[in-house]
Chain A
Amino acid sequence: MSSLEFKPTRMELIALRRRLNFAQKGLKLLQEKQDALIMEFFAAIQKYKRLRDSLLPIIREAYLALANAEIEMGALKLERIAEGVPETVNVEVKFKNVMGVLVPVIEAKIESIRRPYSLTDTSIYLETVSENFSQLLPTIIKLAEVSATIVKLSEEIKRIRRRVNVLDKIIIPTLNNAISYIKFYLEEREREDLFRVKRIKKKLELKSYL
Chain B
Amino acid sequence: MRVALVADFDTAIGFKLAGLKEVYAVTDGRQAEEVINKLTKNAEIGIIIITESLANQIRQYIKEKLYERLIPIIVEIPDKKWAPTAMEFIKDIVKRTIGIELLIG
Residues of A within 8 A of B (CB): 38, 41, 45-46, 48-49, 52, 55-56, 59, 62-63, 66-67, 70, 75, 78-79, 81-83, 85-93, 104, 106, 110-111, 113, 126, 129-130, 132-134, 136-137, 140-141, 143-145, 147-148, 150-155, 157-158
Residue numbers in A under 8 Å from B96 (CB-CB)? 154, 158
Among the listed A63, A93, A134, which residue makes an inter-chain contact with B19, where contact means beta carbons less than 8 Å apart? A134
Q: Would B78 and A52 count as touching, CB distance under 8 A?
A: yes
Q: Would B75 and A147 count as touching, CB distance under 8 A?
A: yes
What's the minimum C-beta distance from A110 to chain B, rounded to whole angstroms?
8
In the complex, whether B105 has a CB less than 8 A from a CB of chain A is yes
In the complex, whether B93 has a CB less than 8 A from a CB of chain A is yes
B residues 1-42 near A (Cβ < 8 Å) are: 1-3, 10, 13-21
Q: Which applies to chain A's interface (DSSP): helix, strand, loop or mixed?
A: helix
Would you mind naming 17 contact pairs between A and B with Cβ atoms under 8 Å apart? A49-B105, A70-B10, A82-B13, A85-B17, A85-B18, A87-B19, A87-B20, A89-B20, A91-B1, A104-B71, A104-B73, A126-B17, A129-B14, A143-B75, A147-B76, A151-B67, A154-B93
Among the listed B14, B20, B97, which residue makes an inter-chain contact with A62, where contact means beta carbons less than 8 Å apart? B14
CA distance in complex: A148, B104 (Å):
18
Given contacts A89-B2, A130-B18, contact A151 B13 (CB under 8 A): no
Residue numbers in A under 8 Å from B71 (CB-CB)? 93, 104
Among the listed A78, A132, A145, which residue makes an inter-chain contact with B13, where contact means beta carbons less than 8 Å apart? A78
Q: Would B17 and A87 count as touching, CB distance under 8 A?
A: no
In the complex, whether B98 has a CB less than 8 A from a CB of chain A is yes
Among the listed A38, A48, A141, which residue makes an inter-chain contact with B98, where contact means beta carbons less than 8 Å apart? A38
CA distance in complex: A174, B26 (Å):
57
Q: Would B75 and A41 count as touching, CB distance under 8 A?
A: no
CA distance in complex: A165, B78 (Å):
38
Among the listed A93, A153, A158, which residue makes an inter-chain contact with B1, where contact means beta carbons less than 8 Å apart? A93
Given contacts A41-B97, A147-B75, A150-B90, contact A129 B3 (CB under 8 A): no
Residue numbers in B under 8 Å from A92 (CB-CB)? 1, 46
Q: Would A79 and B78 count as touching, CB distance under 8 A?
A: no
In the complex, whether B58 has a CB less than 8 A from a CB of chain A is no
Q: Would B19 and A86 count as touching, CB distance under 8 A?
A: yes
Residue numbers in B under 8 Å from A87 (CB-CB)? 2, 19-21
Of B16, B46, B71, B73, which is in contact with the most chain A CB atoms at under 10 Å from its CB?
B73
Q: Would B67 and A155 count as touching, CB distance under 8 A?
A: yes
Given contacts A56-B82, A104-B70, A136-B18, 18 further A-B contacts (CB under 8 A): A38-B98, A45-B94, A55-B77, A82-B13, A85-B17, A85-B19, A87-B21, A91-B46, A93-B73, A126-B17, A130-B17, A133-B18, A134-B19, A136-B77, A143-B77, A144-B73, A144-B75, A154-B96
What's the minimum C-beta distance from B61 to chain A, rounded to whole angstroms?
15
CA distance in complex: A132, B94 (Å):
31
CA distance in complex: A155, B69 (Å):
12
